[in-house]
Amino acid sequence: MGRVIAIANQKGGVGKTTTAVHISACLGLVGPVLVVDCDPQANATSWLGQDPRSVFPSVYEALMGEAALAEVVRPTEEKGLWLAPASYGLAGAQVELVDLPDRELRLREALAPVRETYQLIVLDCPPSLGLLTVNALAAADAVLVPIQCEYLALEGLGQILASVERVRQHLNPRLELLGLLLTMADARTNLSVQVQAEVQKHFPGPTFRSIIPRTVRLSEAPSHGQSLLRYDPTSRGAVAYAALAVELAQRGYGVATAGERS
Ligand code: ADP
Ligand code: MG
């Protein structure tokens, strides 16, 4: 059964979407992977070739019980990668879900019928700890928290870790913290080096060895509508995400080849 990873941090601009797209693109080369865009800003959706103004049905309809998730999923240009797109209307779900039964478990229920279809399902979360993120954490087996290497990087980390703990206690006892991922690291600045040391000191266990460098190539990737794996596979950013994918596999969140599966 496909395992589910949520990429979450209530801070915006820390590399959640970039990480969701790239680990999915890396592991999609091996076996089928699904990205579910849970963010009303819909950055992963635009990046992977759908228009969030018009896409229908979308994750919104799946959460509202108006469409099956399987009807929402579309192929992408990336090998082995499928997308459940978000429309801008997903913003409304944050409010509308409040009155629905099982409001925290709608995504888990929507994903259940497709979990056999994909080897890995990656949930790209919005920059908040609201109901959409809670739905993602309740549906996931594990959560990966990207942390931008900058001043005050650890501020707010307590909040997301507390949310993970709350969801584990009340909704999803098997949820594990897969790891903290340092992103946008600049080896030339002391600050980046200090943040890395601080995160590794306070959270030694779950910090990934792979560190994602700050590179112009990664910031350009969305405007190309491609992952870096396709348009510059030997670049530092692509290599760093490939190394992360290997670590994910080591932590039990890899993708087996068809031969290995049978
Ligand atoms: P989030 O999803 O957490 O809001 P994004 O992945 O969208 O964060 O990244 C925020 C911005 O930073 C985007 O413009 C993205 O292209 C850019 N970016 C992300 N990772 C890197 C990186 N390693 N180096 C340079 N720019 C990056
Ligand atoms: Mg994002």
228-255 tens-digit pLDDT: 999 999 999 999 999 999 999 999 998 8
43 lines ligand 1 (CB under 6 A): yes
39 CA closest ligand 1 atom index: 2
Asked whether the beta carbons of 43 and 222 are under 8 A apart, the reply is: yes
Q: If you average pLDDT over residues 194-209, what whole number do you get?
A: 83
Q: Answer with the residue of higher pLDDT: 24 or 255.
A: 24
HSE (side-chain half, CA atoms, 13 Å) at 220: 12
Q: pTM for this one?
A: 0.96
Give the model's pLDDT for residue 88: 96
Residue with tokens 């929402």: 72
How far does the centroid of ligand 2 lie from the alpha carbon of residue 262, in Å?
A: 35
133 lines ligand 1 (CB under 6 A): no
Report the candidate in 81, 34, 42, 79 with the shortest Cα–Cα distance to residue 58: 42
Q: If you average pLDDT over residues 46-66, what whole number do you get?
A: 97
Question: What integer best gives the mean pLDDT of the chain?
Answer: 93
237 alpha carbon, closest ligand: 1
pLDDT of residue 262 exceeding 60: no
HEC states along the chain? Answer: CCEEEEECCCCCCCCHHHHHHHHHHHHHCCCCEEEEECCCCCHHHHHCCCCCCCCCCCHHHHHHCCCCHHHHCEECCCCCEEEECCCCCHHHHHHHHHHCCCCCCHHHHHHHHHCCCCCEEEEECCCCCCHHHHHHHHHCCEEEEEEECCCCCCCCHHHHHHHHHHHHHHCCCCCEEEEEEEECECCCCHHHHHHHHHHHHHCCCCECCCCCECCHHHHHHHHHCCCHHHHCCCCHHHHHHHHHHHHHHHCCCCCCCHHHHC
Q: If you average pLDDT over residues 158-176, what whole number do you get?
A: 95
pLDDT of residue 189 exceeding 90: no
17 lines ligand 1 (CB under 6 A): yes
Q: Answer with the residue of higher pLDDT: 193 or 77.
A: 77
Give the model's pLDDT for residue 129: 94
Mutate to test the pocket of ligand 1, among 7, 18, 125 (most ligand atoms within 8 A of CB): 18
227 lines ligand 1 (CB under 6 A): no
172 lines ligand 1 (CB under 6 A): no
pLDDT of residue 205 exceeding 80: no
pLDDT of residue 133 exceeding 80: yes
Give the whole-angstrom CA distance, residue 177 versus residue 169. 13
Instruction: Determine which residue's CA is closest to atom 20 belonging to ligand 1.
Output: 15
pLDDT of residue 38 exceeding 90: yes
Q: At what angle do helices 236-250 and 16-28 cross, to 10 degrees?
A: 70
Give the model's pLDDT for residue 26: 96
Give the model's pLDDT for residue 258: 63
pLDDT of residue 260 exceeding 80: no
Question: Ligand 2 is a single-atom ion; what residues have CB below 5 A from it?
Answer: 16-17, 43
Mutate to test the pocket of ligand 1, among 219, 220, 223, 232 (most ligand atoms within 8 A of CB): 219
Q: Answer with the residue of higher pLDDT: 32 or 152.
A: 32
How far does the centroid of ligand 1 lie from the alpha carbon of residue 64, in Å?
A: 30
224 lines ligand 1 (CB under 6 A): no
Report the candidate in 12, 38, 183 with the shortest Cα–Cα distance to residue 107: 38
pLDDT of residue 102 exceeding 80: yes
Q: If you average pLDDT over residues 49-72, what whole number do you get?
A: 98
Q: How confident is the model at residue 198 (pLDDT cuts 50, 70, 90)?
A: confident
Share of the chain above pLDDT 70, in %: 98
